[in-house]
């Protein structure tokens, strides 16, 4: 492989970065070695950061240089955006799950015999399992079950009158 004159290889860059900002220092500052070293170079800082300096900055015993403050602000913004994206993704996932659950419940209540997707079937099976638990608690009394629970049992071919079709048994048979 040909090396370009004046351009350090990845390994050389990594070594140079660590010379300016040792790993221990980057850990104390909670920043990446490369990011700190790059910012130091941009601001003409040629002396390496020491652990003493990093601890002093981290514990606010002395004011950090402006370039470090800028880097910390940028890092905080990135983390904030990442947290926001993760939370939005979680909200979206929960929302989709709730919509799908509602659709499955409607299918069961309409007497559907087939649930099409694996996710929908997982939800239907969860409803069946919960319905079986209620059936066991009610000691086989179907009138104690809600309409959705009865519909779920019908979908799963569970007969409240025939304990052999029950997924769960009360007492010591659980």
- pLDDT exceeds 60 at position 90: yes
pLDDT confidence of residue 71: 94
Provide the token pair at 18: 């660590």
Where does the pLDDT of residue 174 fall: very low under 50, low under 70, confident under 90, or very high at 90 and above?
very low
Average of pLDDT values for 70-98?
A: 96
Structural contact between residues 111 and 151, judged by C-beta atoms closer than 8 angstroms: yes
First to last CA, the chain: 67
Find where tokens 């240089």 sit.
65
**167 CB contacts (<8 Å, ≥6 apart)?**
128, 129, 132, 156, 158
For the stretch 133-172, pLDDT in tens is 898 888 888 889 999 999 999 898 877 777 777 766 554 4
Where does the pLDDT of residue 173 fall: very low under 50, low under 70, confident under 90, or very high at 90 and above?
very low
* Residue 1 C-alpha from the chain's centroid: 41
pLDDT confidence of residue 170: 52
Q: At CB < 8 A and 24+ separation, what contacts does 72-80 make?
A: 72/29, 72/31, 75/30, 75/31, 75/35
* Residue 159 C-alpha from the chain's centroid: 39
For the stretch 1-50, pLDDT in tens is 455 566 778 899 999 999 999 999 999 999 999 999 999 999 999 899 99
How is the chain split into domains, by residue range?
A: 10-64, 81-173
In this structure, how many other beta carbons lie within 10 angstroms of the beta carbon of residue 37? 23
């Amino acid at each position: 492989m040909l090396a370009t004159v004046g351009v350090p290889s990845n390994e050389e860059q990594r070594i140079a970065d660590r010379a300016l900002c040792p790993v221990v220092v980057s850990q104390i500052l909670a920043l990446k070695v490369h990011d700190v070293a790059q910012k130091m170079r941009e601001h003409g800082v040629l002396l390496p950061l020491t652990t003493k300096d990093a601890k002093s900055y981290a514990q606010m015993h002395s004011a950090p240089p402006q370039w470090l403050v800028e880097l910390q602000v940028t890092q905080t913004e990135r983390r904030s955006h990442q947290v926001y994206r993760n939370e939005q993704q979680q909200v979206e996932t929960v929302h989709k799950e709730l919509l799908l659950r509602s659709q499955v419940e409607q299918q069961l209540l309409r007497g559907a015999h087939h649930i099409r997707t694996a996710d929908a079937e997982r939800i239907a099976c969860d409803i069946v399992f919960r319905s079986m638990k209620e059936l066991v608690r009610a000691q086989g009394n179907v009138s104690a079950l809600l309409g959705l629970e009865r519909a779920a049992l019908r979908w799963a071919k569970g007969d409240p009158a025939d304990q052999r079709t029950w997924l769960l048994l009360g007492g010591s048979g659980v």
